[in-house]
Structure 1
Amino acid sequence: MTRVTVTDSNRMISGNHIMLRHRTSLAAAFRWEMRKAGNLWYWITTALFDAIGMFNGWSQYADYQDEFVRQNVTWTAIWGQAILLPSMVFMPMLVAAFAAQIESNEHHGRNWQRLNAVGTVDVAVAGKMLHGCMVSFLTVLVFEVEFILVGRFVMGFDLAQSGPFLLRSIPLTLSVWAIVTMTQVVSVKTESFAGTMSVMMILTIGGCVLSLAAPAIAQLYPLALITSASAVRDLAGIADPGSMIVSTAASGTWILIGAVVFRRLARRAI
């Protein structure tokens, strides 16, 4: 998954030359990120792990259906179990692996040095940020689609009541994007897939611990942002605008900080 062949390296170098010939517009940088991201494994794995979460949600609802019916609980019962493991472990590690795979290749081909030499590193960073945003949106979209399919067509829930869960896709997307950005920052320093994933795994474990031991602090911790954005620890507040705003603001802040640090480190890459 992380091995870089001569062909891969030449393709990246060629792509950088294409970007340079076109003065490296943001659109060109974004398209190049799309081309070099070998991501089929990521989407298959994401869909499978999300499906595991959906099965857990369905199973819990089936086991305690009478109790849930008495309390008029529908979508919330599925959401709580469906998002718990993905938000704490699966999503952070998968998106980190996806971003780390791409970024480790930059060092094998010395692409940062080439981009710095011709003064196009800023546009390249912007292209990577834009690509990270798109991947984050699609990652959350996969989860939301599976959630709606299970709730509506398997459980028969009223689609009109799914609004708050769909709105959660906004802070969820930003929280995933924050993790992608942080992975990109770490990758510039570690310069390898293994090094990046070691750091991200430690940070993810820290996020799990904080989510369990200190939920209030975890709202601001980057690797626990998905958990707080999903409101899985406070399902009664799933539709609370204040909760969504806090999660969105925290994620947005980390994205901005990450973007600034990413740009600075990329400019210093040697």
Structure 2
Amino acid sequence: MDKKYRINTIVNEIDQEIIDSSPVDDKGVSGKTIERRLKDFIYNNNVKAEDLKSGSGRVTFNKDESVFLKTLIKESIDKKSFAYKFVKGEKNSASFNEIADFMYNMDQKMLSVLEDDERLEFLTYLDQSLGYSVLVELKQIYSIIESISHNIKDRLYTYQLQSLMELRGVLERQFTNEVVHSVKHITDIAEMHELIKDIVDDDINIYDVGSFSVSEEYAERDREVLKYLEENPLVKQHIEEKLGKDINSMFRSK
């Protein structure tokens, strides 16, 4: 049977690793600080709070998970780091470059201590949690638009303006299509939740397919749906009128 790592075991190992890598006269970091960082990360990543009650010892992790957690928590010791923002649930305040550097650092530090499959699974989890690949694509889109603008500078001004207006028209049509798709998609999700919520216990994760990254991707999708509806009340009103119910009541709390 694989060894299980409790929170205090991981804290002690991190503490020892920090001491081993520090100068002799460096007192390192207190165990309380390490434990606080670890629990902050768990609280902000949808582990049930009751599992963290003092002395329960019920939260355990396998070896690969413990390696990932140790790598992450050691990165988060520095309060100026993005890892600190991540474990504290403040990831939305980070710049693209901070997130990119964090992803690179985590990849490099897990490279020699985890098999490729396990390392890539944790990187996929981080990617989904941070929306990193989406940010990369958005950055590329912005760069293409800037390049288009730059590459028509040699044309008449009226041509430049017409070209960019046509591009805007393409994007506006795509935006309209996406809004229509969102209304249908959110309606379908809500109806699916309504069908199963009365036959499945609330404690059961309906998205559990044996992969945490897949399960979390669907759960994050549901959280983003509710956030989207809060930010777009007219869309929410339209869907609720169509369904004849308060859509919030149709989603399980995550």
Q: TM-score, normalised by structure 2?
A: 0.25
Q: Mark the structure with the bigger radius of gyration.
A: 2
Q: TM-score, normalised by structure 1?
A: 0.24
Relative contact order higher in (CA < 8 Å, ≥ 6 apart): 1
